[in-house]
Amino acid sequence: MKLCCIFWLLYLVSTSLTFTLVYAGNVTYDGRSLIIDGQRKLLISASIHYPRSVPAMWPGLVQTAKEGGVDVIETYVFWNSHELSPGNYYFGGRFDLVQFAKIVQEAGMYLILRIGPFVAAEWNFGGVPVWLHYIPSTVFRTYNQPFMYHMEKFTTYIVNLMKQEKLFASQGGPIILSQIENEYGNYESHYKKDGKKYALWAAKMAVSQNTSVPWIMCQQWDAPDPVIDTCNSFYCDQFTPTSPNRPKMWTENWSGWSKTFGERDAHRPAEDFAFSVARFFQKGGSVNNYYMYHGGTNFGRTAGGPFITTSYDFDAPIDEYGLPRLPKWGHLKELHKAIKLCEHVLLYGKSADVYTDSSGARAAFIAKVDDKNDKTVEFRNASYHLPAWSVSILLDYNNVVFNTAKVSTQTNKIAMIPEKLQQSDKGQKTFKWDVWKENPGIWGKADFVINGFVDHINTTKDTTDYLWHTTSISVDENEELLKKGSKPVLLIESKGHALHAFVNQKYQGTAYGNGSQSHAAFTFKNPVSLKAGKNEIALLSMTVGLQNAGPFYDFVGAGVTSVQIKGLNNKTIDLSSNAWSYKIGVQGEHLRIYEGDGLNSMNWTSTSKPPKGQTLTWYKAIVDAPPGDEPVGLDMLYMGKGFAWLNVTLVVENLHRNGIMFRNHGSSHLEMFLSSLRIKVVIQQR
């Protein structure tokens, strides 16, 4: 395919027990399990993040999870997408949390609401609003009054919203658990005594909300009663809550991993996934949550990292398009059936590995933890063949209802079928793009001029990915390099994340950090062409998603730190303390070229050449939608760092690295946005 904007169609081819009760409305717990309306529950939960799919997909995703044997849907609440500025709340479109909760309720399922409000989740700035960083004296996630004030304010707002909509279990709603903070135990020690104080404050603040359902804190080993500490990992069978009065719960069983630009997709085999779940329930677990069950898409500028891709597929049981990933989805469905057959005896039995309840019902788990050798074992006078790294679940001791290593469900192959788009103007013989090209450097009036460099993030405040820097250097006409026809070297150091360099409005090259190693810093080193007299150097610094986790992550910066030219007069000229002019954003953003008058009033140039490899260039086209109702993906084969809009909705951010295109099939979910057969596509290429 030669076109940058191609729509693709997707087809599916084929422990000791303690029974001290803690009451919280209709949901209680003891050392064995949650107790809902007086009944012990062994629960299978699925993470589906409402902003990572479009609302039209939500009912299908929830129903597919239910058909897969899931009891509970779990989601984070994304603070920075809901409180756009202090006290300015938004719950529309993909962020309609109430609608999502009601869809779960209508499906007859429970909901775990991870309010946080810090979430990490490979989400921009960990879900905390960027504006909060600029409130004086604020430090995130520690005993800091400005942070705690706004955190409590937002938490209270969400709790009251859920109460108003009668969504807590005590009100007849689906919410059975809420979470405060997120994996803070991993970082608490970095904040010293204020870390401990903050964790205890967060727990106390949450409990004071009177939700009538228990609160959980994952990876929080000092969680105070009545808050339940839970586990996040690939394996949690060896996890034990810090109090014997708390049930053993797994809030994140990782289905795969997120993807960074330049890295391969993570894959977790269905057999290993099932093994981890069976071992967890074998060792007394009562709630297992898959993270993710449907990962979805990082629309717009929501991806964090930095360098997290648009796709958040996560190798999940439901893929990015909303289709069951087989055999993983089917294999887990069979596992869930087997576990549910054993539910009563597991919850009321008084042994470990081999369970017997008061009625005489029996169940057993036989595990082969060696990952290299199969083995035949004797159990209750019978022989059982155990594949390596597997668990067999036996009902009544002699009926093997499931083995985690034996996959009997079908496997599917996802085929991306290219659909050649037709120009909406039926008389058009060749596909036509309209192009508008920006000039490098400061456009209009500079926002400010200072000597030296500023931090990129503190300057843009994440309102845009882009920050222009320009300065000039004079070259003597007698310069030896010019006489020899040689080129000096432009050397730039940056804290991240990416950069384009221009000299005298001519493109000189691009550099970027390393997302796979979480090293955003990089060096740009290129020979450049200079002329006698004044030379303008223009640098376009770019971010690719803000830091989303780590100690003091809110102080991690980005941007240019040093600029030198080597070779002139056999010296190194340091331009770092020069007067630099700055402009926040690029001109097309300010003109809102992707919508309204900007689409028609600009001086667009028509071309039949596909968008490919050009910086600072905008493209637009109006095309007919592909036929059918299958999921549709936007494949930006030649796109670099930039964005794409569909019908004036920002749907995609992408980055081109090392000559490889990172395809984000399915990331636009076009069928969900279409209201007619005419699609207006605007592609921004930089």
Catalytic residues: 183, 252
Strands of the sheet containing 466-475, edge to edge, are 448-451, 579-584, 466-475, 533-542, 498-503, 506-512
- Candidates 634, 61, 121; CA nearest to 325 is 61
- CA 85 and chain centroid, separation: 22
Instruction: Tell me the residue ranges of DSSP E strands in 593-677.
Output: 605-607, 617-624, 632-636, 642-646, 649-654
Q: Which two tokens stand for residue 532?
A: 């006698």
Q: Which two tokens stand for residue 221?
A: 């080993």
Beta bridge mates, 533 = 475
- Candidates 32, 13, 14, 35; CA nearest to 24 is 35
Q: How far is CA 560 from CA 153, 458, 522, 536, in A?
A: 36, 13, 10, 17
Q: How many CB atoms lie within 10 A of CB 330?
A: 20
Beta bridge mates, 39 = 36
Instruction: Tell me the residue ranges of DSSP E strands in 21-165.
Output: 27-29, 34-36, 39-41, 43-48, 72-76, 83-85, 88-89, 110-116
- Counting Cα atoms < 13 Å in the Cβ hemisphere of 146 gives 11
C-beta separation of 133 from 459 below 8 A: no
Q: How many CB atoms lie within 10 A of CB 536?
A: 16
Q: What are phi and psi of 335, to 5 degrees?
A: -60, -45
Side chain identity at residue 279, one-letter code = R
Strands of the sheet containing 414-419, edge to edge, are 414-419, 5-12, 632-636
Q: How far is CA 553 from CA 128, 215, 461, 493, in A?
A: 11, 25, 15, 21
C-beta separation of 61 from 290 below 8 A: no
Q: What's the CA gap between 105 and 52, in Å, rounded?
A: 19
Q: How far is CA 367 from CA 238, 384, 502, 663, in A?
A: 14, 11, 62, 40
Q: Which two tokens stand for residue 430?
A: 């060749």
- Candidates 409, 248, 230; CA nearest to 317 is 409
- Say whether 148 sits in a helix, a strand or coil: helix
- Break the chain down into helix, strand, coil percent, rounded to 5: 20, 35, 45
- CA 304 and chain centroid, separation: 7
Q: What's the CA gap between 413 and 555, in Å, rounded?
A: 44
Residue spans of alpha helices (H) in 312-427: 328-341, 343-348
- Say whether 324 sits in a helix, a strand or coil: strand
Q: What's the CA gap between 202 and 155, in Å, rounded?
A: 10
